[in-house]
């Protein structure tokens, strides 16, 4: 809550004095923890064989990378089994892509289980372990498949490397531009797919230089703190991003809604210091945050996918919403509405809330969260009092602990700095 009385005259006299304090001591916070490694899961479909599979393994071995291989049962034979065993011995994971690579959505439960068990039995014979994940051929799924196949379903972000017309450079560019922590990449090690082998010669060193670690799917789920769920098709396994956030505002209770409106002014006031969290049910496709402007020509409906979703809960970060506004060349004020919405599905939304980053153990007075309390923080508070710029950490400025910011907090901050 802002001070209601005009304070411009007082502030204008103080700002000059504040600017003279640039030599005052700063109080550095503890050093930031070392940034965690980003995880990415490379996956390969349509093997095994004795040519391309081994060429992929050569490159994985060169860059100390692990991957997950989704096998087609009819491709497993005495010769290709050697490649499977090599991949397993390197620490790679061997997974299931069905026996015949047929459309499976209309198969009976018995037919579905036969497709899976054929591959699973072969893999167990080669490695001593069962397959842990399933990728449906052609990414075609149905409720009957989810019910009959007792494995987590994996999709992934593809680079169209099953098409000869897509060059190695285009494949590499798509994978590298799609990379982020927790992403699953879908490629193919089918016999003769030399352009994917060439693409990997760019992908592996480039992503490694960007700090990515190449892990199996099992390791990806474990290290991201997620347990695979049934009736979900995974392309990303993000780590829950809001563990250091706290409740700012409840938007709904446990009463199911199809859409939940967001207040543009509230989001604007929070800058990049917020996240939106919502529980959902009724579909395996998570909701989106929709940016809407129906008064324009043409109208705008921009869907922002959640940074995190696990089949029950979705989290949207300001760091995804703000770039979407920039891409549209818009601000919050230009929108007619912003809301949490289904994405072409029937969905029940409950327990929506706005979260803000917790101040945690930050310094008293460190309103810009740069780890120091100095004149920059006082100037930031002055600008906030002038209604011109938001504060990253308003609680650090509430020195008289009355849950509101005003000129008295400014005076206490100045006194504390001196």
The residue assigned the tokens 């002055």 is 382
DSSP category for residue 128 = S
By C-alpha distance, which of 182, 197, 186 is closest to 139? 186
Is residue 97 part of the annotated active site? The answer reads no
Is residue 370 part of the annotated active site? The answer reads no
Q: Give every CB contact of residue 105 below 8 A, 6+ residues apart in sequence.
A: 140, 141, 142, 144, 145
Residue of 95, 120, 181, 188 with catalytic role: 188
DSSP category for residue 257 = B
Residue by residue, DSSP assigns 318-368 as HHHHHHHHHHHT--GGG-SEEEEE-SSS--EEEEEEEEEE--TTPPTT-TT
The answer to whether the beta carbons of residues 53 and 83 sit under 8 Å apart is yes
DSSP category for residue 394 = G
SS3 183: strand
Residue of 45, 46, 120, 366 with catalytic role: 45
Helix, strand, coil share (%) of the chain residues, nearest 5? 35, 20, 45
| Three-state secondary structure string covering 211-251 | CEEECCHHHHHHHHCCCCCCCCEECECCCCCCCCEEEEEEC
Cα angle 11-17-22, degrees, rounded to a multiple of 5: 125
SS3 157: strand
By C-alpha distance, which of 69, 71, 72, 70 is closest to 57? 69
Q: Catalogue the active-site residues.
A: 45, 188
């Amino acid at each position: 809550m802002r001070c209601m009385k005009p304070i411009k005259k007082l502030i204008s006299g103080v700002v000059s004095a504040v600017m003279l304090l640039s030599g005052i001591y700063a109080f550095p916070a503890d050093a930031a923890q070392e940034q965690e490694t980003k995880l990415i899961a490379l996956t390969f479909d349509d093997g095994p064989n004795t040519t391309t599979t081994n060429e992929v393994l050569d490159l994985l071995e060169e860059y100390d990378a692990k991957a997950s291989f989704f096998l087609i049962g009819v491709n497993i034979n005495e010769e290709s089994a050697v490649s499977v065993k090599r991949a397993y011995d390197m620490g790679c994971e061997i997974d299931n892509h069905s026996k015949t690579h047929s459309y499976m959505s209309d198969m009976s439960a018995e037919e579905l289980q036969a497709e899976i068990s054929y591959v699973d039995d072969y893999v167990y014979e080669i490695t001593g372990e069962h397959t842990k994940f399933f990728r449906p051929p052609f990414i075609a799924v149905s409720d009957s498949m989810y019910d009959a196949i007792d494995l987590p379903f994996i999709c992934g972000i593809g680079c169209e490397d099953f098409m000869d017309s897509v060059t190695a450079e285009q494949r590499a560019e798509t994978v590298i531009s799609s990379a982020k922590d927790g992403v699953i990449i879908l490629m193919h090690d089918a016999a003769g797919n030399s352009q994917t082998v060439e693409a990997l010669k760019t992908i592996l060193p480039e992503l490694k230089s960007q700090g990515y670690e190449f892990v199996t799917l099992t390791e990806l789920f474990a290290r991201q703190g997620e347990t695979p769920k049934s009736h979900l098709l995974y392309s990303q396994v993000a780590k829950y991003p809001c563990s250091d956030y706290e409740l700012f505002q409840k938007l709904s209770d446990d009463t199911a809604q199809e859409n939940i409106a967001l207040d543009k002014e509230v989001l604007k006031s929070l800058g990049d210091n917020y996240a939106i969290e919502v529980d959902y049910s009724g579909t395996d496709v998570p909701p989106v945050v929709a940016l809407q402007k129906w008064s324009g020509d043409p109208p705008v409906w921009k869907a922002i996918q959640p940074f995190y979703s696990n089949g029950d809960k979705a989290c949207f970060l300001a760091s995804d919403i703000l770039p979407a506004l920039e891409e549209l060349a818009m601000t919050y004020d230009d929108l007619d509405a912003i809301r949490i919405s289904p994405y072409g599905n029937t969905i029940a939304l409950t327990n929506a809330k706005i979260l803000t980053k917790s101040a945690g153990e930050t310094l008293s007075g460190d309103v810009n969260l740069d780890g120091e309390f100095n004149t920059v923080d006082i100037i930031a508070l002055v600008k906030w009092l002038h209604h011109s710029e938001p504060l990253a950490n308003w609680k650090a400025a509430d020195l008289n602990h009355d849950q509101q910011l005003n000129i008295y907090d400014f005076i206490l901050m100045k006194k504390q700095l001196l």
